[in-house]
Structure 1
Amino acid sequence: MFCFVFFKKMIFSFIIAVVAIAVMGGGLSKSYAMFFDNDPVYGDPSFSPDGKTLVFRERNVRGKNGLGFLDIETNVHTFMETPENSRLSYPSFSPDGKHIVASKSYGPNQSQIVVLDANGREEVELTEGKGCRTTPSFSPNGNKILFVFSPLPETGSTKKCVDQDIFEIDLVSGDIRQLTDFQFYQLLYPQYFPDGERFIFSGDGPRKPIGYREYERKFGANFIFIMSLDHQELVPVVQGYPYSTKPSISRRGDIIFMAVTNRIDNARGSWNYDLFSLSGGQEIRLTNLKSSILTYSISPDGRKIVLLANDHPKRRGNYEMFIMNSDGTGLRSLGLSGRLN
């Protein structure tokens, strides 16, 4: 007992000494950083229009939130910090490469859509009011932005934003209109087709018009939809691939999606996600990674795919950023590894 009490006192004295030195030297944050640095966090990578640069959400080793940029050819990585108490997520370039649209979080269940310059500065807020606004993307002509909006969080302990639908901002008039009315439990990555009219997205747990239980009974865990303002049918375009989700589309119309492949490969253990292409109504498997894929994106020209993946059997450790050809060949690491946020 004496040894345990003595040990606790020593640890407490050591911490007090560190803080005291930091305060005296005016470097409290730096001293804390020496002992409490975190692994970085990366998420939501997206290509520039020329396919040479990646932009992604980043929290660096000092816990600062911002946008990360990676030159794919030179592997030069830069970081742009955002103001305190805010976080930028789901960054995406405009078709001309001059702007970036992102979701800016001010805290739980409170986020807005913002546009920045290509360096992640000179921010303009496009929305206001309560609610969650996520996964924005530009139209092919750059005049509109799709995004997901949830008005208020559900009641209970989770406080998750629910009843999610797709909205559109007209950058010329400033008008915002609602494009879908299904009240999904979770809706992700709405993106326009090259025609600027149709859009693709993944949506899980619709409340309307038939309810989630009835939807699951009819279609199972298939969540990818293609719609337009004039044609909205709650029938998934991909069926037979469990938990098909998170589509990504190039400016040529190439579609990539991911799905769980344990059942296909007769594999046990943690879920494995793999990437598939969708062409002419046919699904083509691109990878056999035996990994968990956190997120990914296809380049505008449809030639490259960037992804964050973790191949540990129990999904421990960090997610690593990779790039590969869109046919599944040439997989290589980009040298960025971070933990799941």
Structure 2
Amino acid sequence: MKHIGIDVGGTNTDAVFVQDNQVLGAVKSPTTSDVTTGVRRALAALIQACPQAAAPEAVMIGTTHFTNAVVQRRDLEPAAALRVCLPAAASLLPFCDWPEDLAQKVNGGTYLVQGGHEFDGRELMPLDERAVRDAARAIRASGVSTVAISGVFSPLIGDAELRAGEILKQEHPDCRITYSHQLGRIGLLGRENVALLNATLIDLAHKTTDAFVQALADSGIDAPLFLTQNDGTVTLAENARDFPVHSFASGPTNSMRGAVFLAKINDAVVCDVGGTTADVGCVQNGFPRQANNMVEVGGVRTAFRMPDLLSIGVGGGTLVNPDTLQIGPVSVGHRLLQEALVFG
């Protein structure tokens, strides 16, 4: 098997060529603001160093772009929250436990409607389709184009969320919808939070994935493109476009799997220091150990599939404020060569 692996970090883009489990070539180049140029440069350098890399059987790309976007509060789109829950689950509104600066940036409105199910699958109340339709019209009028739909106990029965989505599409055909039951666990707030994060990143995910596809085409590479996920697996790029949260923490996950692969062991504690964050996690039987409780991403508590990591907003490109002595979480990212006081 002949594979190209690419890691697009906030600071550097690394590319390797692997054949029959042997790394035959590896290059590093600074990440560029448009992503495509950095990947194209890395591929060109890799093919020059290792000509057989020009005809891989597959290309795998891992990126920290989506995690960094949340941590650094950039490239995020406002998202509306449509919760199917009344008369229950109205005491804590969507975005209620988010950091204030992030909530102000992405809160595209909150809408609670009647419906949902009990924990045993019984219908809590019939879905108020008229209220959903009114909410859809209000969302369209507000100019918001991404929506996260969550429902009470929807991981058990997602019918109410799906029907609400159908109505939303009828009234607002251009909107992009994230359904919480496709992402999270039973707990409503944590599941709703991850759906909202996903919704705020949809536009960035589409642009980033399209940029990766274009970079491969520009490099003359005709091979399936996969994106790495945070459980240590990969998925086709077209599947990853609508679920960017599955790439949260995939950078450290890639490093963890790569470390045990190169060390020829199955169990280890791995520390991955990148340009924006430093992450520590455990590998068991070759795969990252999964967290069994709430995991914070950029200060937002989420309840979905995530590796069990300790993440600190300190990396190679971290900014230090000399006046307040505050360290991070902002990083100079791909501008490291230009803005670092000390380099090399």
* More relative contact order, 1 or 2 (CA 8 Å, 6+ apart): 2
Q: Which has the higher helix share?
A: 2
The reply to whether TM is greater than 0.5 is: no
How would you bin the TM-score normalised by the shorter chain? under 0.3
Q: Which has the higher strand share?
A: 1
